[in-house]
Chains A and B, each alone.
Chain A
């Protein structure tokens, strides 16, 4: 039951990744990882099938290790709520190359669509801002998505956070590989690191 005027998640993620160049993208456990795969598999896609709540911190570790590389976390509202403390950790470290986009459908789509805290109580933009992430945006239009996608490549002006209101339509699952070691080593290989 999608509300009117909310954005289509696949269109949002396709737009975020359309001109990704050298960016590394990390998808959260759930539909955001499927959305990333639907936009096209990529050697620099970090798909999460577990470790709920960890997407933003994986992004932080990667962003600190590779400060000149754009690092983009694309996750859901439920996953972000579980790791909300990581916004404070990121606000403290201020990695200028890290961007986080939350696909907020105000529901736990993977588990039957239960209502999430963002529907009536939690304002993730407010949380991110209050945690020291100055560039925290509420996004409701595709023009704003496009502007954020462009900003991701400015690795001197982050960290930045966008909460994108999407509709809650259930979409066909496009499943990426579930082999975690392959996923991680593929990224390392693409960044030029040899196997141990």
Chain B
């Protein structure tokens, strides 16, 4: 029994749902730190003619980038993994101060069948870190709820300037399995 059996062995469609929502909201800049959970979405972004995928060296760069994008009239979304949220904390202070639309999609590690103990501390505190930083948290735990969660998140982030993180749970993505 592999922990990832319900995700990795069936080509997931939920990244397509996310991409469609981002297109609908006219998202243009997509900073990301490379991540297996976001791999399909990143490929969609890089193949898109309207969105620009922007690889970062660390997640906090993406927060500052989105502030600049909004100053210049564009919306963006930051793609990262739970471990990267900790890298953002000080830069998240720009969001309430500058009041720009902030949406981030976070693939979760450190939960639901995690095999690597090093992922657990940050995975366990991701939601708390966001909430302490003034970012509202929504979660998608299965593929069926992704479209509605993304619609809600994008709507409140871009229309109501409510900083929002969507946690894409490890149950949705599939726990990472390394074989010897």
Q: Residue among A49, A57, A62, A64 with the most chain B CB within 10 A?
A: A57
Is there a chain B Cβ closer than 8 Å to A1's Cβ?
A: no
Contact B72 A64 (CB under 8 A): yes
Given the known interface contacts A50-B97, A51-B90, A51-B94, the answer about A61 and B68 at a Cβ–Cβ threshold of 8 Å is yes
Contact with A along B55-78 (1 / 0, CB 8 A): 111101111111111111110100
Contact B94 A62 (CB under 8 A): no
Contact B57 A184 (CB under 8 A): no
| Interfacial residues of chain B within 69-115, with CB under 8 A of chain A in the complex | 69-74, 76, 90-91, 93-94, 97-100
Is there a chain B Cβ closer than 8 Å to A114's Cβ?
A: no
Size band of the A side of the interface? 35 or more
Given the known interface contacts A60-B65, A61-B29, the answer about A181 and B94 at a Cβ–Cβ threshold of 8 Å is no
Minimal Cβ-Cβ distance residue in B for A66: B72
Is there a chain A Cβ closer than 8 Å to B161's Cβ?
A: yes
Which of chain B's residues have a CB closer than 8 A to the CB of A69? Answer: 72
A160 to B90, CA, bound (A): 27
Is there a chain B Cβ closer than 8 Å to A6's Cβ?
A: no
Contact A89 B55 (CB under 8 A): yes
Contact A54 B60 (CB under 8 A): yes
A89 to B19, CA, bound (A): 23
Number of interface residues of B (CB under 8 A): 34
Minimal Cβ-Cβ distance residue in A for B159: A196
Given the known interface contacts A54-B91, A93-B54, the answer about A85 and B61 at a Cβ–Cβ threshold of 8 Å is yes
Is there a chain A Cβ closer than 8 Å to B40's Cβ?
A: no
Which of chain A's residues have a CB closer than 8 A to the CB of B99? Answer: 180-181, 184-185
**Distance in Å: Cβ of A44 to nearest Cβ of chain B:** 10
Is there a chain B Cβ closer than 8 Å to A53's Cβ?
A: yes
| Interfacial residues of chain A within 51-77, with CB under 8 A of chain B in the complex | 51-55, 57-66, 69
Contact B97 A61 (CB under 8 A): no
Which of chain A's residues have a CB closer than 8 A to the CB of B70? Answer: 61, 184, 188
Contacting residue for B90 out of A52, A62, A180, A187, CB 8 A: A52
Is there a chain A Cβ closer than 8 Å to B28's Cβ?
A: yes
A181 to B76, CA, bound (A): 18
A185 to B69, CA, bound (A): 13
Is there a chain B Cβ closer than 8 Å to A81's Cβ?
A: no
Which of chain B's residues have a CB closer than 8 A to the CB of A85? Answer: 56-58, 61
Minimal Cβ-Cβ distance residue in A for B63: A54
Is there a chain A Cβ closer than 8 Å to B52's Cβ?
A: yes
A85 to B71, CA, bound (A): 22
A-B contacts, 17 of them at CB < 8 A, read A46-B71, A50-B90, A51-B63, A51-B91, A53-B64, A54-B60, A60-B54, A61-B72, A83-B61, A89-B56, A89-B61, A180-B94, A184-B71, A184-B98, A188-B73, A191-B72, A191-B73
Query: With contacts A57-B68, A89-B57, A180-B99 known, what are 7 further pairs, Cβ within 8 A?
Result: A50-B97, A51-B93, A57-B62, A60-B65, A60-B68, A65-B28, A66-B73
Interface residues in chain A, defined as those with a beta carbon under 8 Å from any beta carbon in chain B: 24, 26, 46, 49-55, 57-66, 69, 83, 85-86, 88-89, 92-93, 180-181, 183-185, 187-188, 191, 193, 196
